[in-house]
Amino acid sequence: MNKIGFIGLGIMGKPMSKNLIKAGYSLVVMDRNQDAVAELVACGAQSAASAKQVAEQTDIIITMLPNSPQVREVVLGDGGIIEGARRGSVVVDMSSIAPLVSREVAQRLAERGVDMLDAPVSGGEPKAIDATLSVMVGGEKAVFDRCFDVMKAVAGSVVLTGATGAGNITKLANQIIVALNIAAMSEALVLAAKAGVEPELVFEAIRGGLAGSTVLNAKAPLVMDRKFDPGFRINLHIKDLANVLDTSHELGVPLPLTAAVMEMMQAIKADGLGDADHCSLVQHYEKMAKVEVRR
């Protein structure tokens, strides 16, 4: 079985790497957070001091990093993956970054004979923990097939959506829909609360109909219980929507609803809630309506 490299042991990366160990893979891990590294070593992983060292020891190197600059640095920078990766190895970038950066990084790796998949995930921390993430992949079919079992070890769904960059285009589409769903849910539940109707009863009444969604089922209970600990931070959703809007402007695609939700998320961040879960967007509506959505 291939030895896997894993770089980035944050909210998502740590449980994903643990699931790879549970699936029987040998892991070499790296992160700036040494506590996270120690936790993985205790689970059976080896540690490395640099991305180059990870790449020297592994056939498939997974990166799970915050944004485009970090992926560029870890893959292409000094001491980066590109300096240690062997010809024929594969970088699977499971970060959510700008599609054009994915293509740029893939091109640089290809010049060294190293393949790449852009394979961002959806599902947040709960699905990272129980290995039911959705993975959206861009790249060559043969490389996808080679890495499928590894990706499936952390996911419920792994779909090849096109050439390099297509994975991140799909993730941007996903993040539009999630953001707008959270905003719509927030508007609806705040309206119900202000009207004196129990939000929980509204939720139970509508969840089985056309308004029902995975987002509604996952986030409405958290809102009503006032649980805003991050499964997926407002700051990270702002990052994704910035990539959405940058890409849409490059392509000449107006996205007025996405732009509106982005500004609401910026307002929530300005209120000091950037590290709260993205369902805390409801607090923007609550503040305007002077009501709270509670059970």
Report the catalytic residues: 171
Burial of 140 (0-12, 13-18, 19+ CB in 10 A): middle
CA 172 to chain centre: 10
Do the Cβ atoms of 286 and 190 come closer than 8 Å?
A: yes
Rounded CA gap, 240 and 236, in Å?
A: 6
Do the Cβ atoms of 234 and 281 come closer than 8 Å?
A: yes
Do the Cβ atoms of 85 and 61 come closer than 8 Å?
A: yes
Rounded CA gap, 258 and 33, in Å?
A: 33
Give the SS3 label for residue 241.
helix
